[in-house]
Amino acid sequence: MVASWWSRARLGIFVHWTPASVPGWAPPYVAPDELPAEGRRAPLAWTAYAEWYENALRFPGSPVSAHHRATYGTRPYTAFGGDFNDALDSWDPAAWARGFRAAGARYAVLVTKHHDGFCLWPSEVANPHRTGWHTVRDVVGEFAEAVRAEGMRFGVHYSGGLDWTFDDRPIGTAADTVSAVPRGGYPAYADAQVRELIRRYHPDILWNDIAWPASRADVQRLIAYYRFTVPHGVVNDRLYPYTPMWRALRLPGVGALYDRRERRTVARGEGFVPRKPPYYDFRTPEFARCTGPDPYEITRGIDHSFGYNRNSPPEAFLGRDALEALVRETAAEGGNVLLNVGPRGEDATIPAEQRLRLEWLAELARRDGQSQTMSKDRPKFA
């Protein structure tokens, strides 16, 4: 049974903030069946998820590649890591936390390492492929302290299933995603980093993404360590253990069958709901509603991306009525909403379009009497 504090939370804030937030660009969302032929063959190269920028660069014909050539020339993606670190001088985690709390959030989950492998803490577990590929400032620790100071719970997101510093093959389809889970030294690396996060920060939520690169027994041991260290903690539903069968998805015929099934699911408008792994506390439908008896958390962006996308058109953003309905209806059904913000990489601020939605939620919380820390003024976000 999921922890009672999580069941009562109703609203959490997700934060995707990576070196991809510096270019902060992806093409607007296009329905899969409306993509050009090249996009239909490799839809993840045309994704509206701006945090997948580095992967989209590996497809010469993708919109991201065209944008990058026109804007940055031959500058490598790794250069954005330095820009990201430089911008941290102006970051104010306390202001973020105050704004999240005012919006009615009861917890906040920070992406500590996304698929590009960049760590938001100075990890003692060295990356053997990209030296210094992390923040100098302890972003995870400072964020955790700020969030907890506002009375919220703190969670860590970690991309266990993908790390492009260990396997940089282009990922164009769902089958490519599963077959690209790194092997070799990566399982030990990921296990050591997640244990470091648990040991250092005692996160209330352990939020893994995509899958886990090791066996079911390894997953069980990792969760046991987490539950021993953080007895009140909760685990999401994406710690799906590695199986050698995933390698078969690299075969053209097998991969095509898998992708065809995935395309049918998206075309029916069902969104993305992870398969159930052996161990989990709550489900995480992505840009989708959820059915069934399990505790669940709808996770989605304010627009069609998670990372900051300066190219999102106005119509991509949730309207006020839709946002309020999402939060209220999900709460009435007993679920949570994990609403994402994607800060800018160049100055460590939350974009105006996203700040406005948080302010709407603050007004909703004030009307519903849910916020205990609201001042009479509108919340200020950095």
pLDDT in tens, 265-321: 554 455 788 889 999 999 999 999 877 899 999 999 999 999 999 999 999 999 999
Asked if residue 159 belongs to a domain, the reply is: yes
Backbone angles phi, psi at 111, to 5 degrees: -70, 110
Asked if residue 380 belongs to a domain, the reply is: no
Mean pLDDT to the nearest integer, 221-235: 98
pLDDT top residue among 289 and 115: 115
Tell me what pLDDT residue 380 has: 52
CA distances from 334 to 97, 105, 163, 295, 301 (A): 25, 15, 34, 8, 20
Mean pLDDT to the nearest integer, 225-248: 95
Asked if residue 210 belongs to a domain, the reply is: yes
Backbone angles phi, psi at 89, to 5 degrees: -60, -25
Candidates 9, 19, 22, 64; CA nearest to 347 is: 22
- In DSSP terms, 14 is beta-bridged to 109, 340
Asked if residue 163 belongs to a domain, the reply is: yes
| Rounded CA separation 191/160 (Å) | 8
Q: How confident is residue 260, by pLDDT bands cut at 50, 70 and 90?
A: confident
Tell me what pLDDT residue 33 has: 83
Asked if residue 287 belongs to a domain, the reply is: yes
Asked if residue 379 belongs to a domain, the reply is: no
Mean pLDDT to the nearest integer, 347-370: 94
Candidates 252, 309, 283; CA nearest to 63 is: 309
* 178 pLDDT above the threshold of 80: yes
Largest CA distance in the chain: 61
pLDDT top residue among 86 and 258: 86
CA distances from 180 to 43, 48, 89, 190, 249 (A): 16, 20, 35, 15, 10
Helix axes 216-229, 186-201, angle to 10 degrees: 10
Query: Hey, which bits of the chain come out as E strands?
Result: 11-15, 107-113, 153-158, 205-208, 234-235, 297-301, 336-341
Mean pLDDT to the nearest integer, 216-234: 98
Which residue is listed with tokens 């007993």?
334
How many other C-beta atoms can be found within 10 angstroms of the C-beta atom of residue 266?
15
Q: What is the rounded average pLDDT for all residues in the chain? A: 93
Tell me what pLDDT residue 258 has: 80
Tell me what pLDDT residue 138 has: 98
How many other C-beta atoms can be found within 10 angstroms of the C-beta atom of residue 381?
24
Mean pLDDT to the nearest integer, 106-122: 98
Amino acid at 360: W
| Rounded CA separation 95/146 (Å) | 8
* 201 pLDDT above the threshold of 60: yes
| Rounded CA separation 372/365 (Å) | 9
The domain tally of the chain equals 1
* 264 pLDDT above the threshold of 80: no
**First vs last Cα of the chain: how many Å apart?**
37
Asked if residue 355 belongs to a domain, the reply is: yes
Q: How confident is residue 371, by pLDDT bands cut at 50, 70 and 90?
A: very low
Tell me what pLDDT residue 377 has: 43
- In DSSP terms, 110 is beta-bridged to 15, 156
Helix (H, G, I), strand (E, B), or coil: what is residue 301?
strand
Tell me what pLDDT residue 376 has: 41
Tell me what pLDDT residue 250 has: 83
Asked if residue 382 belongs to a domain, the reply is: no
CA distances from 360 to 130, 151, 222, 354, 365 (A): 41, 21, 39, 10, 9
State which residues form the domain around 238.
4-368
Tell me what pLDDT residue 369 has: 82
User: pLDDT digit string (tens) for 131-168?
Assistant: 999 999 999 999 999 999 999 999 999 999 999 999 99
CATH number of the domain bearing residue 243: 3.20.20.80
| Rounded CA separation 115/165 (Å) | 8
Residues in the chain: 382
Q: Express as a percent the part of the chain with pLDDT over 70.
A: 94
Tell me what pLDDT residue 267 has: 45
